[in-house]
A and B are shown apart, each in its own frame.
Chain A
């Protein structure tokens, strides 16, 4: 992904500068590191994507785990406000810090349940917040 070689050291970097900071960021394939990492961290909200990553054995790669740890800067300002899928993104980012979840997400049953419940919750929490209009 956006961290170049798969070495543990590659995760010890500073988070990229948010847009508008004026710094002239180097581009990777036309995208800044900020853009790529924002896209990636949001893709983590998709259970199927997590399963894909697990099937590629990335979730047991120490460098990748370190990268996941590094990605937690998205849960803090000023980066937080750029996440447009806040619920699943932050939840999965949190879950991915757990060893057990990283192992279990390979199971299709778990993925399916996460998918179904996530989609249901995405609709139901609106119903619960406005019961009178539902």
Chain B
């Protein structure tokens, strides 16, 4: 087990290094620099600016500073702010949004998926299943504005923008969470159907165990495996989704910041942010992999 964790952790470090290389060269290849303005900047000024940000150094040296010291680098657009500070000031908002969305997704998705799997092809199955199809086909950028029309414009129950009061946070979390709830419900249904058809469930039921205890003690552990493995990509997806949701609801989070940084060609901030998110995703995937082995010990022996 320890050996498995160690090997996966080592792999993750390797992957992260590759990602950092790709990021570096990609952000270097973007046309236009952070110091280009409508008016042409004098060559000497540009040279000096570039020297200040270490952009005249050889590639390998730049790569090393950009990759390993990014939190302490100044932003190329706002030189008096450090990349690390900028991330620290905006990221908690995105994290909070993502966490709420994940809670919504699991709290809605798992129960409805279980319900659907108990009586397949009945109303109990069709209603959650078609609802989740709707959820998958209404991407966040349609869902969000629709919710705004209904709850903020027509009913005037909730605020359409902002991120201060608890009531501001309901619509964005629902918007982002509902999309993933749909996937979670589908995966739970599939996983549970697979497990519920197996012999050990029949055995447990024939021993006289109640359906409820069979579901919670025996079936869920296997039935939720697809959901657990989905959490890795979902974490990455939540980031993308939060870009849109932050735009729709005017939430001061990371997503808007990234799009702005890209159009500003704020190189240090772009590379820092990508690396930050990449390490987050990779770390989360690592956790998911380990959790999967705990749920299904057969996996660690398979290479």
A and B interact? no
